Amino acid sequence: MNREQERVLVVDDEETVRDLLQRVMKEAGYDVVTAANGRDALDKLSQLNAGVVLLDMRMPGMSGMEVLQEITTNWPETCVVMVTAVADTQTAIDAMKLGAYDYIIKPFNRDEVVQKVQEAIEKRELGLQRKHFLVELQQSVTEQSEQMQAQFNELVRTLAREHKLIYELTMKQPENAKSALSRLPPELQGPMSSIEEFSDALLKILRRGALGPSYEASTDDGKDSKQ
């Protein structure tokens, strides 16, 4: 991980806490931006990319929970670490259920803060890699499906032309020579008016082969029951 490429947004209404967190993060090698309140934090996020937000739980105006909800909705790839007092520990745990990555308790240990941020960034990178992999996988599946469909369509066109030729040649033969058509599946023993009709007949044959004779029998029973 290249820390110079990661940005941490520190959000706290207390200037001393804000400055301390900024100094700790800069000493750890991170690019740091600060915000004094929730609205300022959201404005900063809309203008720049931040991998992690250190977010104070209690602030005037927008609370930390309200800011968290905005971040998880509009910047889901940004990890949020809540900064809270001991009395708000349960609230911080509730915040994790809403999407926060973790929380630190005031007064905090510097090494712990750096570790939490590093773990949050690693989680973010893993999520981005997984998302990239899924996009590539979906694209690959789509491309292969399109290729298979194109190959199938070309095969159907070729078979339809051959079927038409065989049917026309067979119809020109004596009656006793027309038995060649009887060796074809029932769906292909008659003339085909279009490639689409041939494709439908071919699909019926393929489905029957995949599902087995029981499918055909059950279908026939259903037709008989309706008659």
Task: Determine the average pLDDT of the residues in 122-144.
Answer: 78
Residues 60 and 108 in one domain: yes
**pLDDT tens profile 64-112:** 999 999 999 999 889 999 998 876 778 888 888 888 988 888 888 889 8
Q: What is the CATH number of the domain that holds 91?
A: 3.40.50.2300
207-222 pLDDT, tens digit each: 877 545 544 444 455 4
Q: What is the pTM of this model?
A: 0.58
Q: Coil, helix or strand for 223?
A: helix
Distance CA 194, CA 157 (A): 10
Task: Report the first-to-last Cα separation within the chain, whole angstroms.
Answer: 71
Last residue of some domain: 74, 104, 130? 130
Chosen domain end from 95, 130, 165: 130
Q: Please check whether residues 31 and 125 belong to one and the same domain.
A: yes
Measured in residues, the chain has a length of 227
Name the 3-class secondary structure at 184.
coil
3-class secondary-structure state, position 227: coil
Q: Specify burial of residue 186 (Cβ count, 10 A radius: 0-12, 13-18, 19+).
A: exposed
Domain-ending residue, one of 130, 157, 173: 130
Give the pLDDT score at 175.
64
Note whether 108 and 140 are same-domain residues.
no
| Rounded Cα–Cα distance for residues 205 and 182 (Å) | 15
Residues 125 and 151 in one domain: no
Domain count, the chain: 2
Are residues 140 and 124 both part of a single domain? Answer: no
* Domain span holding position 165: 135-226
Give yes or no: residues 175 and 148 share one domain. Answer: yes
Confidence of residue 162 (pLDDT cuts 50, 70, 90): confident
